[in-house]
Structure 1
Amino acid sequence: MATIYKEFIVEADARQVWDALRDFGAVHTRLAPGFLTGCQLDGQGARIVHFANGLVARELLVGIDEANHRLAYTVTDGKASHHHASAQVFAHGEGRSRFVWITDVLPDGLAAYIEPMMAQGGAAMKKTLETQAG
């Protein structure tokens, strides 16, 4: 199984970053606008996300851990036989956060496709979160 690990510092308070991350149905407006162009909740615990590159994915919410500022989800359709991702926010000093996003995927070859998307998504999240904090 391939693991893709992305970590970045956000110049925003961890509570603000967590509030945006945990808003599962607003990922396209509060977390990664531009990278994501749309999101609809499907009424079955999942969201249908639309990416700027045309990809559409159904992401099922696995859990929200309020105490640890962690959200986990899995993609339930597409080419992956296994996909699990989590994102977690840590306080990193006054008015700063550390954002950790991890995806495990099978087959391993899909990592070459997913990794650049996560890099682009991470940049969009950092920009959005810092803009909202400013």
Structure 2
Amino acid sequence: MSSIHREVLIDESPENVWAAIRDFGEVHNRLAPGFVTDTHVEGDVRIVTFASGIVVHELIVDVDDESRRIAYAVVGGALEPRHHHASMQVLNDTEGRSRFVWITDVAPDGLGEPIAEMVDQGIRVIKRTLDREAAPNR
């Protein structure tokens, strides 16, 4: 199993970053536009279409407003690893900024590198998107 752990500082308040993540059916608009081209929700499953054309079905496992954390697992679609669980969490940082933490566990190990590449690309887009949202307010 591979574990992918990424953190990035975002120049936006934790409340605003969490609001974008919490709106889990709007990833393509609020969190990662361009990287994700469509998102829709059917019950407790989020169907995500990536710019690469890959479509995944993610079971929303938990949405915790108090800890500002969402957890999900891939349960279908084009990418069906033996195991895939991920969480995104927003933590307070200094000067009104946020620390965004994204952890993904995936098996088999052979999927670790391609998933890490997707996470790295996604986190760059998320940071750019949310930093841009904060810029007019700073």
Give the TM-score normalised by structure 1: 0.96
Q: Deviations over 1:3-57 (max 9, x none)?
A: 0111100011111000101111011111000100001112x21111010111100
Q: Deviations over 1:73-116 (max 9, x none)?
A: 00002330111000000010122110000000110110111001
Q: Which amino acid aligns with 2:114?
A: Y
Which position in structure 2 is the counterpart of 1:65? 64
Which position in structure 2 is the counterpart of 1:34? 34
Q: Taking every aligned residue pair, what percent have the same amino acid on both sides?
A: 49
Which position in structure 2 is the counterpart of 1:12? 12
Which position in structure 1 is the counterpart of 2:131? 130
3-state DSSP class of the match of 2:39?
strand
Give the 4+ runs in structure 1 shifted more than 6 A.
Answer: none
3-state DSSP class of the match of 1:6?
strand
**Matched-pair contact (CA < 8 Å) for 2:84–2:105:** yes
Long gaps (5+) in structure 2 = none
Which position in structure 2 is the counterpart of 1:51? 50
Give the TM-score normalised by structure 2: 0.94
1:115-126 pair list within 5 angstroms: 115-126=116-127
3-state DSSP class of the match of 1:25?
coil
Does 2:26 correspond to 1:23?
no
Which position in structure 1 is the counterpart of 2:98? 97
RMSD of aligned alpha carbons? 0.8
**Matched-pair contact (CA < 8 Å) for 2:74–2:80:** no
Shift in Å at residue 133 of structure 1?
1.5
Aligned pair count? 133
Please say which of residues 74-83 and 120-129 is displaced more in the overlay: 74-83
3-state DSSP class of the match of 1:94?
helix
